Amino acid sequence: MRVTQSLEQTQFISALDTLESNISTSEAEESSGLSFTTPSENPAAAGTVNGLNQVLSQSVQYSSNASSAQGSLQTENTALDQVQTQLQSLYSLTLEAGSGTQSQQSLTALAAQATEIQSTLLGVANTQDGEGQYIFAGYATQTQPFALTATGATYSGDQGQRQVQIAAGQTVGTADNGDLVFNEIKNGNGTFSVTAGPNATSGPGGTSGPNTGTGIIGATTVTSASSYTGGSYTIDFTAPGTYKVLNSTNATVASGAYTSGAAIAFAGIQVTLSGQPATGDTFAVAPSKNQSIFATVQNLVTALQTYSSGPSQQTQLSNSLATALGNINQAINQTSTIVSQVGGRLNQVTTQQSVATAQQLQLKTSVSSLQSLDYPSAITTLQSENTELTAAFQAFTLTQGLSLFKYING
Amino acid sequence: MSNLFGITTSALAAFETAIAVTSNNIANANTQGYAVETADLTSAIPQNTGESAIGNGVDVSGISRAYSSLAENQLNTSQTGLSQINSLQTYTNQIDNIVGTTAGGVSTALQNYYNAWSTLASDPASAGARAALLGQAQSLAQTFQSTSGQLQNLDTQINTGITADVSQINSDVQSIATLNAQIVVGTAEGEGQPPNDLLDQRDAVVQNLNKLANVSTTVDANGALNVFIGTGQPLVLQGTVTPLTVIPNQFNGSQLEVSTATNGNNTLSSSITGGDLGGLLAARTQAVNPTLNQLGQIAVGLAQSANAQQNSGLDLTGKFGANLFTVAAPAVTASRGNTSAVTAGATVTGVGALTTNDYVLSYQNGAYSLKNAATDAAVAFTATGSAANPSFTADGLSITLSGKPAAGDQFLIQPTVNAAGSFGVALTNASQLAAAGALETTTASSNTGTAAIGTPAVVTATNPNLLTPTTITFTSPTTYTVGASATSYAYTSGAAIAQNGWQVAISGTPATGDTFTVQPGSAGNDVNALAMANQETQGVLASGTVSINGATSELITGVGTQAQQVNTAQTAQSAVNTQALQTVQSISGVNLDEEAANLLKWQQAYQASAQAFSIGNSVFTSLLTAVSGTAS
């Protein structure tokens, strides 16, 4: 095999190109700390790293969403705590009003306290979060949701529930709308309610007026949920000791002799009355309907304020207080339900946050293991490339020194 | 005695020639195409003395070049392959860099865009979050545009390269034709002695030519070399040159093709597979355009899915969202060779079926046919419309034609090539972002029943009354009316109630007088924003199996793999070329040590001959002395 000097030189130059480009790549890797700087150096890893970074960025966004959801839910939780405290006070106040030792004056004072509670509740219902958004307004977070009226409060929010994504395919509601929390509270016992009156002839000039007897509404229960179909009934006292129960088309569904404290049963429900109803006194049974907390307080305040002494007034007050207690109890139940839901969501968010933190750590580790430079091996590579280049220089100098012409003396 | 002088004279002349040949070899040690030469010495015809034949000295019968056409052809073949891959490598490496950095940028911009929707979902009415989202959408569009722009720059570079290569090829073939003429004359005049240096020069030009494009050659008896390119088109026949020309692509005038004609649409481009030119053409069809198409496919997928979602939500003013992104429709270009006035257009109808291919629609034998522009494989399509204005549906495209076609008419359809470059944000006002779902519901507070209303679904988005608030009123626990109409319907729990283009299910036990209202989504509604953020992981491309994000990873891996393959092929081809070069050099190259030894050899032979001459001279002098001595 003949080897020519010109080929040797050409090959040396092309070897230099390769060696120096290798060294330059190694240098780029070491200065960037990345094991590849273009996809071609490791196509599969480059694609995977891109995918992992996307998942990572998404996960970071979910974490940030979860933090904001956590903030909102904690704000709601605090607000609901306050609602519960206020409702407990209202409940005690109502019990106190019904203790039978109250004067008109002390009742007026209690009414003032109830009004106070009502305005506290209104403040809570209009709670704003750190960004000035009303948390109980549904989607309409820029609108103040509640305003008091003569009979309760109006609601200007909507029934939306804002959702935040905290994981792939997992969203969590960040608040509950005010309608649900403050308005949609079934009155009575949650299934039906009983109200006293009217007496068709007790009013001025024989017109319809309040009951004249001392019949007070006691416990109300549903004995057979399937038998009670949501109808309205009237318990009509035809004589002080006799009642009949009429349905909405005035047909008698039950009748009997009245005993104070004994349950009157019909259509799957029981109503207990005590005291002595007068002839013509009625008690209306109606399916429960939603009544806002504000209306409940308003009704209570009205009842306390309009009290004037007398047995009939006392009976009316007792009945109003009984109704109020039932409704307050319903509101407490409703709030408890929502508090436990909020707790559940908070749990969900917290769990998801720790999952996300672990996931992010794992993703970063994966990205790093694919992309980060293994310095010891990179330095070794660079050193061996350096050695290779030095060796190439020496070999070339050595072979180029070999020429027969050197030994021909002219 | 005269014989002795004759012999030494011939030897001195021959060795002088040999030294000259050796010196010439040394002089051309680094000359491209030069083949090492040797002086061919033969003994002169002997003088017959009758008893024996005495040699008559030495003759230079010729100067031959060490040449192997087989080795030379191998070198040319490997060189054309190496030049092709070198040129291709330039482009795959650039794409590797562009995609590795800026398309990585597309991926990051996509992330920021989706995250902005997620942030907007937590506060849909916020002007700040809306402006931030619009900003992210714009930066996403800019990233698409700049990546596409850099890739399109490569197309421009390729055009410049093609023009330069063709001009160099033409200059080379002209040199070959000129050398041919000289060689034909030289061969004839040399009486069997080849014009070595002219042949060397021509070989060097052929080597250069092979670096530019793959050519084949034949040698005629008179010594002329014929050069052919592509599928056998002659570039040089004896002394006649057919120059190459650069013509615009029949569909896309901004893409240059190689031809031997100055007009018409016939190109040699597909048959030029070697040399720098072959590399440029391969870079365009195998690397640059497919990458543009793939990037465009991502852009179309994103634009279509985002626009569809945007159209189904409500903006801050309560109107259905307008398109968020604009993206160019598929490029449909008629061939310059079309003879009728038929026109064609295309739209993307199914982004899931959309491919990264280009298509050619041809009219031949009274019927249209569709094929893949790269592979020529037939593509199945469904035809609808009238014979005069037919429409074709294939691979997620709807192609409509109008006008009467003529046989041979062709259209090039590039569904996604311009998509990334034209990707833009259509909205100018952040309040136009549709964060709210189209419909929401309200359950009346006065309801006493336990029935609950579900989430309304849009069935007919075009219904003009879709957004009219409509109340469903229960006239009894088992019947209901819808809106103002008195018509009573029987209630079944969980059954769909349809009206005004929507449907909704109510389940549970309603009470008489209960009402539910279906109304347009309010400003604070975040349903559509959540759906937008969710698109991030939704399969959009490839029949819904690949998400927009996934497609960017595929793009990066694909481009990286191609660049890696080309790098590997380059290394391999480089080794093949070195091997061929070594073979040629071992046959035709000049080894200086060898020449030094030859120089010594010829010098010594010359000195010996001179010595023989000197001895002859002294013999002759002795003889003269002896003769004169006797005489005196």
Share of chain B above pLDDT 70, in %: 98
| Mean pLDDT, residues A41-47 | 88
Rounded Cα–Cα distance for residues B402 and B385 (Å): 10
Q: Which two tokens stand for residue B272?
A: 């030029």
Q: Check if A7 contacts B (Cβ < 8 Å).
A: yes
CB-CB under 8 Å, B594 with A46:
no
The percent of chain A in helix, strand and coil, each rounded to the nearest 5, is: 55, 20, 30
ipTM beyond cut 0.85 = no
Nearest to B360 by CA among B387, B334, B340: B334
Q: Check if A232 contacts B (Cβ < 8 Å).
A: no
Does residue A197 register a pLDDT over 50?
A: yes
Q: Mind listing the pLDDT tens digit for each residue in B359-399?
A: 999 999 988 999 999 899 999 999 888 878 889 999 999 99
Rounded Cα–Cα distance for residues B9 and A362 (Å): 92
B419 neighbors B355 (Cβ within 8 angstroms): no
Share of chain A above pLDDT 70, in %: 100
Contacts of A390 (CB under 8 A, 6+ apart): none
**Three-state SS for B99?**
helix
Which amino acid appears at position B283 of this protein?
A
Judging by beta carbons within 10 Å of its beta carbon (0-12, 13-18, 19+), is residue A103 exposed, middle or buried? Answer: exposed
CB-CB under 8 Å, A53 with B477:
no
Buried b (16+ CB within 10 A) or exposed e, B36-71: bbebebeebeeeeeeeeeeebbbebebbbbebeeeb
Contacts of A216 (CB under 8 A, 6+ apart): A196, A273, A274, A275, A315, A318, A319, A322
Judging by beta carbons within 10 Å of its beta carbon (0-12, 13-18, 19+), is residue A249 exposed, middle or buried? Answer: exposed
Does residue B510 register a pLDDT over 80?
A: yes
Which amino acid appears at position B329 of this protein?
A
Rounded Cα–Cα distance for residues A158 and A137 (Å): 6
Q: What is the pLDDT of residue A10?
A: 86
Q: Where are the alpha helices (DSSP H) in A187-246?
A: none
Does residue B416 register a pLDDT over 80?
A: yes
Q: Check if A1 contacts B (Cβ < 8 Å).
A: yes
B592 neighbors A405 (Cβ within 8 angstroms): yes
Nearest-neighbour CA in chain B from A157: distance (Å): 10
Q: What is the pLDDT of residue B154?
A: 94
The count of other CB atoms within 10 Å of the CB of residue B554 is 19
| Residue in this structure with the two tokens 């009625």, named with its chain if needed | A282
Does residue B631 register a pLDDT over 50?
A: no
Q: Mind listing the pLDDT tens digit for each residue in B4-19?
A: 788 888 999 999 999 9
CB-CB under 8 Å, B560 with A41:
yes
Contacts of B262 (CB under 8 A, 6+ apart): B245, B247
Nearest-neighbour CA in chain B from A303: distance (Å): 23
Judging by beta carbons within 10 Å of its beta carbon (0-12, 13-18, 19+), is residue B547 exposed, middle or buried? Answer: buried
| Mean pLDDT, residues B61-77 | 91
Rounded Cα–Cα distance for residues B18 and B609 (Å): 14
Q: Check if A155 contacts B (Cβ < 8 Å).
A: yes
Strands (E), B336-394: 343-348, 359-364, 367-372, 382-385, 390-394
Q: What is the mean pLDDT of chain A?
A: 90
| Residue in this structure with the two tokens 């650069």, named with its chain if needed | B246
Say which of A39, A62, A139 has its CB closest to residue B556: A39
- Domains of chain A, with CATH numbers? 58-187+327-357 (1.20.1330.10), 192-289 (no CATH)
Rounded Cα–Cα distance for residues B166 and B169 (Å): 5
Neighboring chain B residues of A38 at a CB cutoff of 8 Å: 93, 96-97, 100, 560, 563
Q: What is the pLDDT of residue B103?
A: 53
Sign of CA dihedral A98, A99, A104, A105: negative
Share of chain B above pLDDT 90, in %: 71
Nearest to B530 by CA among B457, B434, B456, B454: B434
DSSP secondary structure, B131-193, as one string: HHHHHHHHHHHHHHHHHHHHHHHHHHHHHHHHHHHHHHHHHHHHHHHHHHHHHHHHHHHTTT-
| Mean pLDDT, residues B478-488 | 92
Nearest-neighbour CA in chain A from B435: distance (Å): 12
Q: What is the pLDDT of residue B632?
A: 44
Question: Which range (A91-95, A100-104, A263-267, B521-525) has the least confidence?
Answer: A100-104
Q: Where are the domains of chain B?
A: 2-66+589-631, 71-291+543-556+570-582, 292-425, 439-520
CB-CB under 8 Å, B125 with A141:
yes
| Mean pLDDT, residues B300-308 | 95
Does residue B236 register a pLDDT over 80?
A: yes
A263 neighbors A217 (Cβ within 8 angstroms): no
B272 neighbors B280 (Cβ within 8 angstroms): no
Rounded Cα–Cα distance for residues B356 and B296 (Å): 8
**Three-state SS for B561?**
helix
Does residue B50 register a pLDDT over 80?
A: no
Neighboring chain B residues of A165 at a CB cutoff of 8 Å: 118, 121, 530, 533-534
| Residue in this structure with the two tokens 């039950």, named with its chain if needed | A254
A178 neighbors A76 (Cβ within 8 angstroms): no
A367 neighbors A56 (Cβ within 8 angstroms): yes
Does residue B104 register a pLDDT over 70?
A: no
**Three-state SS for A408?**
coil
| Residue in this structure with the two tokens 């496919």, named with its chain if needed | B297
CB-CB under 8 Å, B553 with A51:
yes
Nearest to A54 by CA among B266, B111, B89, B341: B111
Judging by beta carbons within 10 Å of its beta carbon (0-12, 13-18, 19+), is residue B470 exposed, middle or buried? Answer: buried
CB-CB under 8 Å, B124 with A50:
no
Angle at A67 between CA A62 and CA A72, to 5 degrees: 120
Between the ranges A40-54, A195-209, A298-312, B296-310, where is the mean pLDDT highest?
Answer: B296-310
Give the helix/strand (H/E) hosting B503.
strand B502-507
User: How many CA within 13 A on the CB side of residue A234?
Assistant: 17
| Cα dihedral B40→B45→B46→B50 (10° resolution) | 160
Say which of A46, A163, A402 has its CB closest to residue B100: A46
| Mean pLDDT, residues B164-174 | 96
| Structure confidence at residue B102 as a pLDDT band (50, 70, 90) | low
Interface of A with B in 387-406 (CB under 8 A): 402-405
Q: Check if A230 contacts B (Cβ < 8 Å).
A: yes
Interface test with A, best of B314, B448, B512 (most A CBs within 10 A): B448
Rounded Cα–Cα distance for residues B278 and B83 (Å): 8
Neighboring chain B residues of A7 at a CB cutoff of 8 Å: 581-582, 585, 589
| Mean pLDDT, residues B608-622 | 89
Q: What is the mean pLDDT of chain B?
A: 91
Q: Which two tokens stand for residue B313?
A: 């939500």
Say which of A138, A162, A287 has its CB closest to residue B511: A287
A363: phi > 0 → left, psi -120 to 50 → alpha, else beta; which? alpha
Write the DSSP symbol of residue A100.
S
Interface test with B, best of A34, A37, A54, A144 (most B CBs within 10 A): A54
Rounded Cα–Cα distance for residues B105 and A51 (Å): 13
| Structure confidence at residue B264 as a pLDDT band (50, 70, 90) | confident
| Structure confidence at residue B259 as a pLDDT band (50, 70, 90) | very high
Contacts of B438 (CB under 8 A, 6+ apart): B312, B313, B314, B320, B458, B461, B466, B467, B502, B520, B521, B528
Q: Check if A161 contacts B (Cβ < 8 Å).
A: no
Q: What is the pLDDT of residue B55?
A: 83
Nearest-neighbour CA in chain B from A258: distance (Å): 30
Q: What is the pLDDT of residue A212?
A: 86
| Structure confidence at residue B630 as a pLDDT band (50, 70, 90) | low
| Structure confidence at residue A65 as a pLDDT band (50, 70, 90) | very high
Q: What is the pLDDT of residue B194?
A: 86
Say which of B522, B552, B557 has its CB closest to residue A160: B522
**Three-state SS for B496?**
strand
Rounded Cα–Cα distance for residues B142 and B154 (Å): 19
Q: Check if A32 contacts B (Cβ < 8 Å).
A: no
**Residue B369, φ and ψ in degrees, nearest 5:** -135, 150
Q: What is the pLDDT of residue B2?
A: 64
Rounded Cα–Cα distance for residues A73 and A92 (Å): 29
Q: Mind listing the pLDDT tens digit for each residue in A341-389?
A: 999 999 999 999 999 999 999 999 999 998 888 888 899 999 999 999 9
The count of other CB atoms within 10 Å of the CB of residue A96 is 15
Q: What is the pLDDT of residue B519?
A: 92
